[in-house]
Structure formats: C-alpha cells, structure tokens
Amino acid sequence: MKETERILDLWSAARSAGESAVLATVVKTRGSSYRLPGARLLITQGGRRAGSISGGCLEDDLLKKAWWFTEKGPVVRRYDTTPDGEIAAGGFGLGCNGIIHVYLERLAPDQTSALDVLQKVRSERQPATIEHVIAPGEVWVETLQPAIRLLVFGAGDDAVPLTELARNLGWEVWVFDGRAHYARREKFPQAQVVAVRGTRPAPIDAWTVAVIMSHSYSQDLDVLRELSSQPLPYLGILGPAKRTAQLLADAELTAATLAPRMRAPMGLDIGADGPEQVALAAIAEIQSVLNGREGTALSAKGGPIHSRETDAGEGGKFEVRSIVCA
C-alpha cells in the first residue's frame, strides 16, 4: 500500500532529525473493523503522522495519548467500537461495530524495529516474519510480503493512467515497449521504463503480475509466448476476445493452458469506456484476483466484508494474513 511508503519516509525523516516516534499496529480484531491486522500508524515526537488504523475515530485519541500509553514500554490498547463501547460512549461517534486491539511501541532513532524489516522486505523483495509477544501466552505473527510488481507491456497513451493508478496503490511498475518513441521516461515518470521488444529483462517473481496492451499484434504475440511459461498469478490481455483467440492460436497455446491466471479481455465489468476507466477496471480485477475475491458488489455479498476473523480467543497463538508492503 502507498501508506507504507509514507510511513517509511516519515520514519526516515524523523530518524535523521534524531526524533523518536510511536508505532501503532492493529494486531487483532473481532467483529467489524475499518482496517485489518497489519494496518499501521506512525506518530512522531513532533506530532507528525503517517498511515491509519481506523476510519479516523482512533487516530486523534492516539495522537493525544500515545506517548502516555507507552511510557512504561510497549502496550496493547483495546478499542471497543460497538454502539455500547467506549468509542461511542466517549463521544468519538459510532464506530465500526467491532473490537480492535492496537499494539503500541516507542521507536528510538538508533533502535531496530518492524519498520526496518518492512524496508528490507520492500527493497530486497524477500518475505519476512515478525513475531510480537503481546501478552503472556499470546504471540502475534505477521508475514510481510513485497509490494506487487506490475509489468505493463505496451507504452501507449492508455498505459499512462494504468501505471499512475498502480503507483498510487504503492505497486512497483515497469513499462516495456520495443518502440523507443513510445517508451519514454518522461511519459511514465513513476515507472521503470525499458525500450525493449518482448519480456527481457522483465523482473518476474512470486509477487509479479502482467498486462499485455501494446496494440501491436506482433509485439503482443512475442510477449504472450514468453509469459506463457511464467508463474504469474495474473496475466491480463487488452482487446476483444476474438483477437486474444487469434493470439493464442498463433502462439500455439490454449486458454485452458493459461487458466485461471489469464484474463482476456482484462478488467472487471464496470462499463468502462476510455483509458482511465479501463485502467480502473483492470487494477480492480488484479486486486480481486490477488485477494482471492470475485469482484462482486459488497451489497450482494452478505455477511462480513472481511471473511476472516483474526481473534483466536483470550490466549494462545494467532496469525495475521500476509501483509503486502508497498
């Protein structure tokens, strides 16, 4: 997520200034909550902040009290956002109708912390696990994963809003195109731009997804052939189904061979028209695939928005779902 970048940037600035901070992390929820475990808020000694742990009802309280809460060391703060809980009773306004446990810890400039692990995962693109003992007999285990890497094959004008939206989500973005007058760095200032035909040197790992959208049949065909053997969780192809069928035939591939990772035409059905809306549809589909969701309307889902409870009871060990570090 983009906010991870903001948290790390703020902590880097605070460290350089010799400033301490308090890191607040959601470690357990019961019932409904605006943020899931792994959500973070950093508050510097000077009052600057980055990130969030709620829809706004908890941040102001922590901004005022975080230093007092952590005076004697790390602590878990329990917030009851149900209608009868302290959030509503305390005048914060109606919360999310759930209970949120927030782990609070002070960070000193010379101290190694979870944020250093986050930075390492982000830069080296290797997952890591953090264990926090938050109570006698209770351990919070968090698995951190690298940011999503989006490979865009095609540097046409319609690729611009796609790359911008992906970067706003904190994804790492690469753009490839064999046409040098298309693959210009000034056109994609927030992406790595490579003027090359095909996929080489495409940096592909377990957290990489790709879209094919060059509008050049020969380029798309070359890329499809090369990507067909890669273990991508998502491979989107722009254009009508008939064109994709021809690409598959010419590449001597079948849709069944690439299923279920290939999505063509790419994007969720939102009635998209124009580059910006197509980009929104494509990014939304990628996000839904990576999260194992169907991309249906929440109003039609029934039940809780987040399908997984993270509370393992009053004791014992519980694990948090994997957290993507943008």
User: What is the pLDDT, as a whole number, of residue 200?
Assistant: 79
Better-predicted residue by pLDDT, 128 or 298: 128
Domains, the chain, ordered by start: 2-145 (no CATH), 149-290 (3.40.50.720)
Provide the 3-class DSSP secondary structure of residue 143.
Answer: strand
pLDDT band at 140 (very low <50, low <70, confident <90, very high): confident
Residue 31 half-sphere exposure toward CB, CA atoms < 13 A: 13
d(CA 141, CA 130): 6
How many residues belong to the chain? 326
Residue type for 48, please? R
pLDDT band at 317 (very low <50, low <70, confident <90, very high): very low
User: What is the pLDDT, as a whole number, of residue 298?
Assistant: 83
Torsion angle, CA of 23/28/30/33, rounded to 10 degrees? 40
Question: 146-173: string of b/e by CB count within 10 Å (b at 16+)?
Answer: bbbbbbbbbbbebbbbbbbbbbebbbbb
Most confident of 32-41, 131-140, 155-164: 155-164
Instruction: Please determine, for residue 207, whether its predicted confidence score (pLDDT) is greater than 90.
Output: yes
User: What is the pLDDT, as a whole number, of residue 307?
Assistant: 52
Provide the 3-class DSSP secondary structure of residue 57.
Answer: coil
Averaged pLDDT, 290-317:
64
In SS3 terms, 177-215 reads as CCCCCCCCCCCCCCCEEECCCCCCCCCCCCCEEEEECCC
pLDDT band at 239 (very low <50, low <70, confident <90, very high): very high
d(CA 188, CA 315): 50
Residue type for 113, please? S
Contact 130, 142 (CB under 8 A): yes
CA separation (Å) from 204 to 18, 181, 284? 38, 25, 21
Query: Alpha-carbon Rg of the chain, whole angstroms?
Result: 22
Angle at which helices 217-227 and 241-250 cross, to 10°: 60
Residue with tokens 């090359």: 196
User: What is the pLDDT, as a whole number, of residue 154?
Assistant: 97
Q: In what order do the strands lie in the sheet with 98-107?
A: 49-51, 40-44, 21-31, 98-107, 75-80
pTM: predicted TM-score of the whole model, two decimal places: 0.86
Better-predicted residue by pLDDT, 281 or 37: 281
Residue with tokens 């470690």: 27
The continuous run of DSSP H or E covering 104 comes out as strand 98-107
Contact 40, 51 (CB under 8 A): yes
d(CA 196, CA 173): 16
